[in-house]
Amino acid sequence: MAIVRPFKAVRPVRELAAKVAALPYDVMNSDEAREMVQENKYSFLHVDKAEINLEPSVDIYDEAVYKKAKEVLDSMEEDRVFVQDNEACLYIYKQTMNGRSQVGLVSCVSIDDYINDVIKKHEFTRPDKEQDRINHVDYCDANTGPIFLTYRDNENISFIINSCIKKNPDCEFISEDGVGHIVWKIDDKRTIDSLSEYFNRVDYLYIADGHHRAASAVKVGLMRREEVKDVSGEEEFNFFLAVLFPESHLKIMDYNRVVKDLNGLKNDEFLDRVSEKFYINPQEKGQKYKPEQKHVFGMFLDGQWFKLEAKKDSFNSEDPVKSLDVSILQDNLLSPILGIKDPRSDKRIDFVGGIRGLEELEKRASTDMKVAFSMYPTSMDEVMNIADEGEVMPPKSTWFEPKLRSGLFIHKLR
């Protein structure tokens, strides 16, 4: 029984929405963010990555960064870049990328649903990343970036949402990367109540992306409960911002790997070790290889692509985690051969989203890295099944596109 709750969103005025909307804070570093906002004073990165407003020498976790985020957000509200809706509403957010659309419901969800596993997770979080967003939410007194949630397809919910998007939108624009964005506001109480009722019959919601933001939002909510006497449960800090998409709308892209060296091995020694667990099929020079099915991998080494097919004895097909391609590669190659024991912390490995293409893997393996691996994408069924089992996926298992833009919806905690 999932709770979705309308809220009085703080939103950019229509004519500035395209300039305000920004990619999530964690898909670029500070230098890249500074470059991106050079000619855009309205970009929400000025709030979400507030260190870009300070000298580069300032540590990104310094208290000054969070104070600056609050200062910039307040200033943008005072200048009426943002305005708050007068009534609690739900919203619809449609994104279109390369001809494919995903349509989600923007609402607040319950921190208790998160605590009680009505909202299911599939990743571990890192304390340092959690603390960063805890500070950001706490100082801003707001959820500034939505959590990307999904749910199993529901025809009643889809019918209502499809009816709503036939009306004129509140705002519509195409971002600099060619992704289309459209927002509708749902202010009709009967429609809001119907959607809330149907979601109340949904057994589970699943975090697709945004585990650190979700965990941080929940912890700030719990902090507020400690600070406030006689909590009723209806206070805004008991809820956090999310966009909920039906599973059939989502596309997971491959999340590829590049490694710095061969762990002291020569090329032929490395290939011999790999052949113990994988069938190796060298591709002709100049021919790229992108996996077309599960348990098959591409490998780029010294200017040549290889097709790697996992041998059946290299994994347990009955184990939902161990049978993931990211696990098979980690358990049979990255860890035992290349010495990458902890991919979360090892500096010799890096991860490349599939949107960058095989060319980026070739570039990396020919410059700052030695070998690259192209992956077959994890499926939504795998993500949801692992979450249902209470298991955790290996790091960097999923890459969702398009990314939700920050700044289009802000949820105030008071």
**Going by C-beta distance under 8 Å and a sequence separation of 6 or more, which residues neighbour residue 271?**
280
Of 238, 249, 259, 214, nearest to 26 by C-alpha is 214
CA 348 – CA 260 distance, rounded (Å): 5
Question: Strand 411-412 relative to strand 142-143: parallel, antiparallel, unpaired?
Answer: antiparallel
Check: CB of residue 150 under 8 Å from CB of residue 2.
no
Question: Looking at residue 345, what is its pLDDT?
Answer: 86
- Six token digits for residue 2: 């999932």
Check: CB of residue 408 under 8 Å from CB of residue 10.
no
CA 111 – CA 200 distance, rounded (Å): 15
CA 78 – CA 84 distance, rounded (Å): 11
Rounded to an integer, what is the distance from CA 297 to the centroid of its chain? Answer: 24
Q: Count of CB atoms within 10 A of residue 375's CB?
A: 27
Going from the C-alpha of 199 to that of each of 3, 189, 196, 246, the distances in angstroms are 7, 15, 5, 12
Question: Looking at residue 126, what is its pLDDT?
Answer: 85
Check: CB of residue 146 under 8 Å from CB of residue 406.
yes
Check: CB of residue 314 under 8 Å from CB of residue 328.
yes
Question: Looking at residue 382, what is its pLDDT?
Answer: 94
Question: Strand 147-151 relative to strand 239-246: parallel, antiparallel, unpaired?
Answer: parallel
- Give me the amino acid identity at 384: M
Question: Looking at residue 97, what is its pLDDT?
Answer: 96
Instruction: List the chain domain ranges.
Output: 4-252+401-412, 255-376
Query: According to the 3-state scheme, what is the secondary structure of 119-182?
Result: EECCCCCCHHHHHHHHHHHHHHCEECCCEEEEECCCHHHHHHHHHHCCCCCCEEEECCCCCEEE
Check: CB of residue 218 under 8 Å from CB of residue 132.
no
Q: Count of CB atoms within 10 A of residue 178's CB?
A: 10
Mean pLDDT of the chain: 96
Name the pTM for this structure.
0.91
Q: Which helix (H) or strand (E) holds 192?
A: helix 189-200
Check: CB of residue 122 under 8 Å from CB of residue 204.
no
- Six token digits for residue 203: 């057994």
Q: Is the dihedral of CA 119, 124, 127, 130 positive or negative?
A: negative
Residue 278: CA atoms inside 13 Å, Cβ hemisphere, count?
27
CA 244 – CA 373 distance, rounded (Å): 32
66 — phi, psi (to 5°)? -70, -35
- In the CATH hierarchy, which fold is given to the domain comprising 255-376? 3.30.1760
- Give me the amino acid identity at 111: I
Question: Looking at residue 61, what is its pLDDT?
Answer: 96
- Six token digits for residue 365: 């393996």
Residues of the chain with pLDDT under 50: none
